[in-house]
């Protein structure tokens, strides 16, 4: 599975401990569908994005995956949210390369010129 790993600049507190190491997976269709089932996400694009992010995070320190919720992520510091946003961008580049595309979405030819 293609993922992106990193470390939050500040970290998030959970169960009395600061958690900083993270790992994201690509967004799936089911993530969008499940997020749209949340009433607040249907009327608030920012909250919708947080719901999607909560689904994409497969590791956040030692926090149990089922505890990584939109409500938990709302406690992130702006610097940490920015890091996760950049991680999503890096993940998108990895996916494009996996598909054989450049950053603009154009097919690349893996054969030497």
Domain residue ranges in the chain: 4-98
Record the tokens describing residue 47, joined without a space: 């909250």
Closest CA to 57 of 93, 91, 15: 91
Closest CA to 27 of 55, 1, 65: 55
Q: What is the average per-residue pLDDT within 30-34? A: 96
- pLDDT for 6 equals 98
- pLDDT for 22 equals 98
Residue with tokens 């909250």: 47
pLDDT tens, residue by residue, 11-27: 999 999 999 999 999 99
* Mean pLDDT lowest among 36-40, 61-65, 83-87, 106-110: 106-110
Please, how many CA atoms are within 13 Å of residue 58, restricted to the half-sphere of its CB?
A: 13
Using the predicted structure, report yes or no on whether residue 109 has a pLDDT greater than 80.
Answer: no
pLDDT tens, residue by residue, 63-107: 999 999 999 999 999 999 999 999 999 999 998 888 786 656 566
Question: How much is the pTM?
Answer: 0.84
């Amino acid at each position: 599975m293609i993922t992106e790993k990193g470390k939050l600049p500040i970290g998030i507190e959970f169960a009395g401990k600061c958690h900083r190491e993270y790992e994201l997976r690509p967004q799936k269709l089911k993530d969008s569908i499940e997020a749209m089932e949340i009433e607040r996400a249907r009327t608030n694009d920012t909250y919708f994005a947080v719901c999607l992010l909560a689904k994409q995070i497969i590791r956040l320190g030692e926090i149990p995956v089922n505890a990584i919720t939109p409500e938990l992520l709302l406690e992130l510091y702006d610097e940490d949210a920015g890091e996760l946003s950049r991680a999503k961008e890096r993940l998108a580049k990895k996916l494009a390369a996996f598909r054989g595309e450049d950053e603009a979405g154009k097919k690349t030819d893996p054969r030497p010129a």
